[in-house]
Amino acid sequence: MSPVAEYLVSAAIIVGGLFILIAAYGLLKLDKPMSRLHAPTKAGTLGVGSILLASMIFFFARGEFSLHELLIMAFLFVTAPVSANFISKVHIHRRRITEDLPPPEPGSVWSTLERPASENAPEPGETDDSEHPGS
């Protein structure tokens, strides 16, 4: 294996190890569930991706190219944001520290506890007193 490939593999492993260390530290030190969510999903994903990149460089330099690492990376980069989204939605729906959550975008109630305007509309045959003041 060439010295350039060895340096690239070493650098990718060190960078990946640092990202994983930062993710573990963030998971331990951050106190709120919504802030703890970012450490393993962001830094951990980058750390594992960097180590997989080191593996790809290593085997490519030896002439044994494989797509296994690419498939693992694709699966990791697709599933980490989805699982983070589900964890955050569970947190929202369990109604824990909702005062710390940011307000939704105007006109958007997709992932909040607010009901859409169509659900607040009166049933057919019912009258809405707010439309006819004074009656």
Does residue 130 lie within any of the structural domains?
Answer: no
Does residue 134 lie within any of the structural domains?
Answer: no
Does residue 12 lie within any of the structural domains?
Answer: yes
Q: What pLDDT band is residue 29 in, cutting at 50, 70 and 90? A: confident
The total number of structural domains in the chain stands at 1
Does residue 129 lie within any of the structural domains?
Answer: no
Q: What pLDDT band is residue 4 in, cutting at 50, 70 and 90? A: very high
Short-list 112, 86, 109, CA closest to 33: 86
pLDDT tens across 37-82, in order? 777 788 888 899 999 999 999 999 988 888 888 898 888 888 888 8
> How many angstroms separate the CA atoms of 72 and 78, rounded?
10
Q: In this structure, which long-range contacts are made by residues 65-72, counting pairs with CB atoms below 8 Å and at least 24 apart in sequence? A: none
Domain span at residue 98 reads 3-116
What are the structure tokens assigned to 101, written together? 């959550």
